[in-house]
Amino acid sequence: MDVYTFKKFFSTRSQRIIEVLTALAVAWDAYSFGANDVANATGVYMAVIGGTTLARSILGLGVSEPLFLALYGAIFMALGGVVMGWRVIDTVGYKITKLDPVGGLTEALSSALIAWLFTTIPYMLIGYGMPISTTYASVGAVFGIGIVRSRSLRRGLNVKVTLLIILSWILTLPIAAILGTIYYFTLCYIMR
């Protein structure tokens, strides 16, 4: 076996190993995100009204609230992913920085671990998981990969896209708080 054949064999084999590891890491990432994000989307409903009421009134089912709401939220999260998710995939995968196979594996492992840790460890210590922004975990990992790979913030990241993302992160919390205030006062006024 000459050096060229050896390198080609090794390159093809390592590429396949990275692909398999990435598929497994993305599955873990999706699991971790679902464990954290489904609760973000449905936890309020359970706290206020109860999932069993919804399950009985819509489907005539007698299932536990958390199980029903996890299923309910997962179905609509999947629908959102199919309808609009490709736009975010395009931004995370291509517009922030160009991810190579090792970068993709690194991102999936990093964001999966962060979401899993904040969902699992607080539950073991204090009895409940902590809702986090899984987007911050994922995109933050992509930022880090781009910077390290290029050894430069300016060369490693699309600065315009990065700044727009950071601006949207900064604006999200106060805008959500303002909307929550407006909606709450409006609904209280209407329902009097």
pLDDT along the chain (192 residues), means of 10: 58 82 92 81 67 57 67 82 85 88 92 92 85 90 92 87 94 95 94 84
Residue 20, in any domain of the structure: yes
Q: Which domain holds residue 108?
A: 3-157
Residue 183, in any domain of the structure: no
Number of domains composing the chain:
1
Phi-psi region of 127 (alpha: psi -120 to 50; beta: other; left: phi over 0): left
Residue 70, in any domain of the structure: yes
Residue 148, in any domain of the structure: yes
Output the 3-class SS for 144-191: HHHHHHHCCHHHHCCHHHHHHHHHHHHHHHHHHHHHHHHHHHHHHHHC
Residue 64, in any domain of the structure: yes
Residue 59, in any domain of the structure: yes
What pTM was estimated for this model as a whole?
0.75
Residue 115, in any domain of the structure: yes
State the Cα–Cα distance between residues 62 and 55, nearest whole angstrom: 7
Amino acid code (one letter) for 57: S
Residue 192, in any domain of the structure: no
